[in-house]
Amino acid sequence: MRRPIPVTALSTFILVTATSEVSLALAQDETTPYDETVVVTSTRLEDKPAPKSDVPAHVTVVDRERIEASGARNLQDLLVEEAGIALIDQVGNDVQKTLDLRGFAGGKGVAVFLDGARLNDPRNNAVALEQVPLDAVERVEITRGPAAALAGGGAEAGVVRIITRRGTTPAASVSVSGGTWNTQAYDGTYGGRFGRFDVFGSGSYDTTDGFRPNAGGRQARFYASGGVDVGGERHLSLSLFSSDLDYGNPGALSLAEFESDPQQNVYNRLDFTDSVDRQASLTFQGPVGAGFSVAAHVAFRDDRASTLSTGRSASVFGGFFLDAEGSAWSGTGQATREIGGHRLAFGAEALDGDTDSTGFFTSPSSPGTYDPSAPASRNTAGVTSAGVFAQDAWSISPRWNLTGGVRADRSRVGYDESIPGTVPSDERTFSEVSLRAGVTARPTDAAEIYVSYADAFLPPTPEQLFAFPFFGSNPELKPEDAHAYELGARVHGSAYSIDAALFLTDTRNEIIFDPTPTPSDPFGTNVNAAATRRLGAELAARGRLGARVSAFANAAYTDATFTAGPDDGSDVPLVPKVRVAAGLDAALPRGFGLRIDGLHVGSQVLDNDAGNVRSRLEAYTVANVRATWERPAPGSGARRGTPGVFIEARNVLDEGYATRGIYAGADFVTPAPGRRYLAGVSWRM
């Protein structure tokens, strides 16, 4: 195996960057406020703006300017450099990656909302962030720590809120790019405001041959929205988004195969995912009288996914083809009223979704084909959930804020199997009350200190409970229940911000997979671990080092361990203790720009190795460079477009690494791509 590149240079760069930012911070006038406003982190839905300084949590806002400067092609690549976030590629195509936060691996502990509508899949709580077209995103807000009092089940690690763009001044853009492995990308946007109406649309198409055999594919993403001001500062909008993805799943390699050639594919040359996802959302926000404002949304989502899994035993056992089709309705209503120094918010939300799945075994002689007239399984899995919530944000004085919230949730999980009929139809119901409280003190206009407590819970999903008899399901699972404490501080000025947080999260009944064979579960099963603890620290610094240079440095330390049961004292799998990212953005003369960024991720325990008896997945360090040129925008009233050019090198040091390792009778790793290049042109009007 190629050894990780020494991190000395990156560490030095990070130290210099952080030191420069702290020095800049100390030189600034502490009475100058850093005017960063967040909207939805203070309440469940977007309503009245609230300053970040009032929120008792570590919050990050990634705005449109940062999105464009990053050069990211999807949300995972955009967010991986933020404190406490890690990416894991479980299928091996460098596209369908899970986003993990604060040591909750596999994407299970994060609740994700698109304009208020939950994106988590009811079947397994997973989120396919690659579905969301990045050109359609105005900003992303990350609230770390359990937030169940606002978000409901599945928010043990935190909440990611995605807010889409609206049309303002009529404008359009197009871009075309290409690079390594016959990678091509085509993007376009248009938006405008016409009287009381606003419209916005975006489209993107990506295709690549892939960095390994069967790692290539294509994806088309579209987004459209239309809104109308209905008077009295009230706004009604309808948004639609669509994703059509077809990618190969090259899977993992054994350690020996990885050391021999990390870009090879020995067995999974047929496996693939072909998915289509659609969502429509209707949103209203504005005052309704008597001092109340209301935010509400109704969303409908449908999806269809076909997957083929073969693997190393295909010549003996064949493969399995699964065709699944699902849909879900969701809705949330929230009312807010300010009374004196109190900002009261209360509301309710509900979701109803189900998925019909049909599976087929494929023959060893032809593992890529199946007989559509002979299904091996047919089932329907459904989730119905409802919750009510209330919160009071009390501004005791200009220097003190107190936040308290409560939420009650009820979730019913059902399963109905017609083929083979060996698992009886069944359902489980789970209920939970979650609390949230926090205090924020503002000793100066340029600093805040906060302390907070929050509950969170995560009911077991249909897949964990019922959907895979003999392959992991366990109908006796209990919900995960988490309790978290956080102490944080913020310092900010007109040109910088520094956020620091210490956190502790205790989770009972965490659901993990135990690969130990038993007579009833020869391939292992899902079980409730007795308890886990995640203890960590986060530091995020961002600011301007000069008139033309800005920088960031983010670092996180997470110690995730089992605290009871047979694995007491062992590290939780797939949680690197250390993650560090840093970067520089320089706006050079004559429209040129340069961005340099790097990411270091520490070693981690292999998936399924709760006892920590296997070798760890090695640490890795990745660096990227991006150069841009854009002609300065024409003067007022000019109709000329603005051309631009970019060229970038990702993993410029050609690090050989894997983001995921798994123990499945032997040790396997999922390779990540080596060095690659991309260049393109753009035009804005």
CA–CA separation, 270 and 568 (whole Å): 40
* Mean pLDDT (whole number) for 313-322: 88
Asked if residues 185 and 203 have their Cβ atoms less than 8 Å apart, the reply is no
Does the pLDDT value for residue 295 go beyond 70?
Answer: yes
Give the bridge partners for 292, in sequence order.
289, 337
Q: For the segment 71-104, what is each residue's pLDDT rounded down to a tens digit?
A: 888 899 999 999 999 889 989 999 999 888 999 8
Q: What is the pLDDT of residue 42?
A: 66
State percent of the chain over pLDDT 70: 90
Q: What is the pLDDT of residue 470?
A: 52
pTM recorded for the entire structure:
0.90
* Mean pLDDT (whole number) for 438-465: 90
Average pLDDT of the residues of the chain? 87
Distances (CA, A) of 471 to 89, 253, 517: 21, 21, 10
Question: For the residues of 149-188, what is the DSSP string, one character each?
Answer: HHH-TT-SSEEEEEEE----S-EEEEEEEEEGGGEEEEEE
Asked if residues 453 and 485 have their Cβ atoms less than 8 Å apart, the reply is yes
Which fold does the domain 8-684 belong to in CATH?
A: Maltoporin; Chain A (2.40.170)
Q: What is the pLDDT of residue 26?
A: 36
Of 656, 653, 603, 657, the closest CA to residue 9 belongs to 653
Does the pLDDT value for residue 453 go beyond 80?
Answer: yes
Q: What is the pLDDT of residue 632?
A: 74
Asked if residues 620 and 4 have their Cβ atoms less than 8 Å apart, the reply is yes
Q: Which helix (H) or strand (E) holds 64?
A: helix 64-70
- Residue 278 CA, distance from chain mean position: 18
Question: For the residues of 352-396, what is the DSSP string, one character each?
Answer: EEEEEEEEEE-BTTBTT---TT--SEEEEEEEEEEEEEEEEEEEE
Q: For the segment 140-155, what is each residue's pLDDT rounded down to a tens digit?
A: 999 998 776 678 777 8
CA–CA separation, 397 and 399 (whole Å): 5
Taking phi over 0 as left and psi of -120 to 50 as alpha, with beta for the rest, 491 belongs to beta
Asked if residues 42 and 49 have their Cβ atoms less than 8 Å apart, the reply is no
Does the pLDDT value for residue 36 go beyond 70?
Answer: no
- The string over 180-212, giving b where at least 16 C-beta atoms fall within 10 Å of a residue's C-beta and e elsewhere, is beebbbbbbbbbebeeeebbbbbbbebbbebbb
- What is the dihedral angle through the alpha carbons of 401, 406, 407, 408, rounded to the nearest 10 degrees? 180
Asked if residues 431 and 174 have their Cβ atoms less than 8 Å apart, the reply is no
Only one residue has tokens 């429509």, namely 280
CA–CA separation, 153 and 455 (whole Å): 10
Q: For the segment 388-424, what is each residue's pLDDT rounded down to a tens digit?
A: 999 999 999 989 999 999 999 999 999 898 888 877 7
Chain length of the chain:
685
Domain boundaries, the chain: 8-684
Does the pLDDT value for residue 585 go beyond 70?
Answer: yes
Asked if residues 526 and 512 have their Cβ atoms less than 8 Å apart, the reply is yes
Asked if residues 34 and 23 have their Cβ atoms less than 8 Å apart, the reply is no
Q: For the segment 341-362, what is each residue's pLDDT rounded down to a tens digit?
A: 899 999 999 999 999 999 999 9
- The string over 647-668, giving b where at least 16 C-beta atoms fall within 10 Å of a residue's C-beta and e elsewhere, is ebbbbbeebbbbbbbbbeeebb
Instruction: Give the list of residues 6+ apart from residue 497 with CB closer than 8 angstroms, or none.
Output: 34, 36, 490, 491, 540, 541, 542, 543
Of 237, 195, 202, 239, the closest CA to residue 220 belongs to 202
Task: Kindly indicate the confidence band of residue 292, based on its pLDDT and cuts at 50, 70 and 90.
Answer: very high
